[in-house]
Amino acid sequence: MENNRRADSIWADIQRIRAEAPLVHNITNYVVMNTTANALLALGASPVMAHAEEEVEEMAAIARALVVNIGTLSPPWIAAMFKAGGVAKRNARPIILDPVGAGATTFRTETARSPMEELAPEIVRGNASEIRALAYDERSTRGVDSAHAPEDAASAAEALSRRSHGVVVTSGAVDLILSDGATDRVFNGHPMMARVTGMGCTASALAGAFAAVNPSTRDAAVNAMAVMGIAGELAAGRSPGPGTFVPQFLDALYLLTESDIRERLKVTES
Amino acid sequence: MENNRRADSIWADIQRIRAEAPLVHNITNYVVMNTTANALLALGASPVMAHAEEEVEEMAAIARALVVNIGTLSPPWIAAMFKAGGVAKRNARPIILDPVGAGATTFRTETARSPMEELAPEIVRGNASEIRALAYDERSTRGVDSAHAPEDAASAAEALSRRSHGVVVTSGAVDLILSDGATDRVFNGHPMMARVTGMGCTASALAGAFAAVNPSTRDAAVNAMAVMGIAGELAAGRSPGPGTFVPQFLDALYLLTESDIRERLKVTES
Amino acid sequence: MENNRRADSIWADIQRIRAEAPLVHNITNYVVMNTTANALLALGASPVMAHAEEEVEEMAAIARALVVNIGTLSPPWIAAMFKAGGVAKRNARPIILDPVGAGATTFRTETARSPMEELAPEIVRGNASEIRALAYDERSTRGVDSAHAPEDAASAAEALSRRSHGVVVTSGAVDLILSDGATDRVFNGHPMMARVTGMGCTASALAGAFAAVNPSTRDAAVNAMAVMGIAGELAAGRSPGPGTFVPQFLDALYLLTESDIRERLKVTES
């Protein structure tokens, strides 16, 4: 897909999200809940954060996508994650998995691996260390940051994608989106995004919104990463530091125009 | 109460809040905790967030109002909510209930209904779908957003108010405040407020601060909704999108002057 | 240490933090998680928030400092706090304790006292009411705000420091840093910092970053408080209210220069 057709696809998705306000169910971590909810709202989607075992099945049943993020999990949340995931699976709703910090501790790696196997998420998005941990059980010593560039995780992503039959996004300076043998690369983005907590989690949440309106999970993943990157570039141009970056990033998502996308989009496929 | 006397009442409350910094105890959801704490501080109140069963009774005993919000509840928090509510009741401190997402799942509707019956909150504030769910058990499919305008919930609010003998606020483009047969309407506000997470929860938190200093719960509820709406208008005039809106909203609460209120206030009563 | 040598020490620490991005493990409260993670990132450190009992020991083992904050604790988090603290102790990693709200409830005072005794934190940072509660069991009625100025807690801080053999920071308009008989005072800061939630928690988190790179815990504590105060002054100069203050504060941490420090630093020692 060349840049023009990719821009068409992104803009069509954004228009659908703004028109339909798809309900996106998030089981996510405490640190980023506010930011990801606001990012989904700014994009035009309708976020709901619900993790109680007593209600996640009903919530998943009315939502159009489920985003599962293991950033600050504890055992009851894991049970909720599987309950919600089971419903999403039965209803053929897309599941997005964010394995935050996989590789940093055994608990996180295992917590990320079991939904990977049992729920076969349509999209997994992590940094290179997280993707390597999921594929190879590799240990990391950087907490939730990556010690690797996305290209270092290319074969890990391929192995994972073969196992899950889903899309694997390895995000970083250049994002790699691997699906069924094809590889898309998104060159948009800005280094300031690494100085703010929750940008990766926000990418996963936005992937939920795109997957809610686009039946191609590959397109949904590429479009979400491109929109993240373009909004990041726009925001970085208006903020000297990471504090003012976040409000500007949310404004950029809200104000995003077709020409912002056409002028800035930098993707390749192979 | 005509606009001038309402403005007097609002300004008197704000001055008392700024002078006394009433302690407002919040048992609220993870998504908005930071925003509601900052909004209470910006207004001049002193927020405390405490949900552990071991301490909520002591905390409620020193607080001047209790705000209970079911946004991301799980069973231990529900137990804490009743313990804190019992103390507030015995000490004749006002209780504000925010039934976030009531109607979206059975668990939430029930979780919102039991304090409604057992604690008889002085003020309930929800959107139209939440108020209808509390009154009629009606199901909603919009998650935490409303599928209805406040006027669609007018008879539901009346039924609820009769049962609880309290004030029922249905917020939306126009806020309806129902109490003892009287209906106040607040026309202040801005559509940007719906593109930010936690504005409803913030309204409930501010109602706690007003109820802490104003013995009329009707006045406290109307005044809180008017201040929310006016601060929202001021902030929207200074921000192109929802990201920059939030910091501007908090600044507006902090900087609010008597003339801001007199010039902008739009309320009616019937 | 006169102002020039203190400025040298601060600037050397900042350069090390920016170069090494030390991993700081936080077990902290829901209200401020996002703010403290962003503050650590803005300063140049690498934050990780992890509280599950299943993983805190592994996380503490790869981190260079542990920050324990009791702002919204419940029993499972307390167990995690001791597990993580045990590992940090065995690995000779600095532990920073933030006794948020100690004195407001018996549960909080006790929850803060047991790690004080069992983990002997290298640095304790609280407001005057919290430090008095830890030392004397004194009750407070202001929730998480202080009813006292730091100087009112001077002898309490001394008693605590004698018991823990650690540094005791009492923060307020003037911060007192007590260690082994010496008292440093930091005069930097701005009243706006008291109108924002989480500034105290952020100070404790930054103390973790400084303690990760500076073997003198006294220097780490003084340097962290000075950087908080200077960033607060810079931010207050660029924001009319507490809403815009927070993003400006994070930008100030990120953009902090050697001359900002040399020009503004106001510390004394005795």
- Rounded Cα distance between A116 and A122, Å, is 10
Q: Contact A106/C55, CB-based, under 8 Å? A: yes
- Rounded Cα distance between C231 and B223, Å, is 36
The mean pLDDT of C23-31, rounded to a whole number, is 94
- Rounded Cα distance between B72 and B33, Å, is 11
- Rounded Cα distance between C257 and C254, Å, is 9
Contacts of A246 in chain C (CB under 8 A): 38, 247
Nearest to C197 among B21, B30, B37 (CB): B37
Percent of chain A with pLDDT over 70: 100
Chain B: residue whose CA lies nearest to A25: B143
Closest CA–CA distance from residue A201 to any residue of chain C (Å):
13
Chain A: residue whose CA lies nearest to B31: A34
Would you state the pLDDT for residue C1? 64
Closest CA–CA distance from residue B33 to any residue of chain A (Å):
9
Interhelix angle A33-43/A3-20, nearest 10 degrees: 100
Closest CA–CA distance from residue B105 to any residue of chain C (Å):
24
Is pLDDT of A227 > 70?
yes
Residue A45's pLDDT band (boundaries 50, 70, 90)? very high
Would you state the pLDDT for residue B91? 96
Q: How many CB atoms lie within 10 A of CB B44?
A: 21
Is pLDDT of A157 > 70?
yes
* All residues at 6 or more sequence positions from B8 whose CB lies less than 8 Å from its CB, including other chains: none
Q: In 3-state terms, what secondary structure has residue C47?
A: strand
pLDDT tens, residue by residue, B28-70: 999 899 999 999 999 999 999 999 899 999 999 999 999 999 8
Q: Which residue has the higher pLDDT, A118 or B262?
A: B262
Q: Which of B222, B86, B95 is nearest to B164 (CA)?
A: B95
> Which token pair is A16?
């659908």
Q: Contact C250/A240, CB-based, under 8 Å? A: no
Chain-wide mean pLDDT for chain C?
94
Contacts of C36 in chain B (CB under 8 A): none
* All residues at 6 or more sequence positions from B91 whose CB lies less than 8 Å from its CB, including other chains: B60, B61
Would you state the pLDDT for residue B147? 80
Q: How many CB atoms lie within 10 A of CB C195?
A: 19
Residue B207's pLDDT band (boundaries 50, 70, 90)? very high
pLDDT tens, residue by residue, C196-250: 999 999 999 999 999 999 999 999 999 999 999 999 999 999 999 999 999 999 9
Percent of chain A with pLDDT over 90: 80
User: Is C117 buried (19+), middle (13-18) or exposed (0-12) by CB count in 10 A?
Assistant: exposed
User: Is B220 buried (19+), middle (13-18) or exposed (0-12) by CB count in 10 A?
Assistant: buried
Closest CA–CA distance from residue B166 to any residue of chain C (Å):
27
> Which token pair is C259?
């001359």
Nearest to B251 among C72, C101, C240 (CB): C240
- Measured at the alpha carbon of residue B9, what is the angle toward residues B35 and C192, in degrees to the nearest 5? 35
Q: Which of B165, B163, B222 is nearest to B10 (CA)?
A: B222
Q: Contact B41/C73, CB-based, under 8 Å? A: no
The mean pLDDT of C158-174, rounded to a whole number, is 94
Domain A3-269 has CATH 3.40.1190.20: yes
pLDDT tens, residue by residue, B67-87: 999 887 778 888 999 999 999
* All residues at 6 or more sequence positions from B142 whose CB lies less than 8 Å from its CB, including other chains: A23, A46, B104, B129
> Which token pair is B265?
């206030």
The reply to whether C182 touches chain A by the CB within 8 Å rule is no
Contacts of C25 in chain A (CB under 8 A): 143
Would you state the pLDDT for residue B37? 97
The length of chain A, given as a count of residues? 270
Would you state the pLDDT for residue B180? 86
Nearest to A58 among B105, B145, B196 (CB): B105
- Rounded Cα distance between C36 and B24, Å, is 23
Q: Do A96 and A66 contact (CB within 8 A), yes or no?
A: yes
Interface test with B, best of A43, A238, A251 (most B CBs within 10 A): A251
Q: Please give the model's pTM, rounded to 2 decimal places.
A: 0.97
- Touching C (3+ Cβ pairs <8 A), the chains are A, B
Q: Which of C123, C65, C53, C130 is nearest to C91 (CA)?
A: C65
In the stretch 208-247 of chain A, residues with CB closer than 8 A to chain C read 239-244, 246-247
Is pLDDT of A1 > 70?
no
Would you state the pLDDT for residue C185? 97
Percent of chain B with pLDDT over 70: 100
- Rounded Cα distance between A224 and A220, Å, is 6
Chain-wide mean pLDDT for chain A?
94
DSSP letter string, C148-192: S-GGGGHHHHHHHHHHHSSEEEEESSSEEEEETTEEEEE----GG
| Greatest mean pLDDT range, A225-239, B99-113, C96-110 | A225-239
Q: Contact C197/B63, CB-based, under 8 Å? A: no
Inter-chain CB pairs, A–B, below 8 Å: 102
Extended beta strands in chain B, E state = 23-27, 46-49, 65-69, 95-98, 123-127, 167-171, 175-179, 182-186, 267-269
Task: Please provide residue A135's backbone torsions phi and psi, each rounded to the nearest 5 degrees.
Answer: -80, -40
Q: Which residue has the higher pLDDT, A53 or B260?
A: B260
Task: Please provide residue B182's backbone torsions phi and psi, each rounded to the nearest 5 degrees.
Answer: -85, 145
Is pLDDT of C75 > 70?
yes
The mean pLDDT of A36-50, rounded to a whole number, is 97
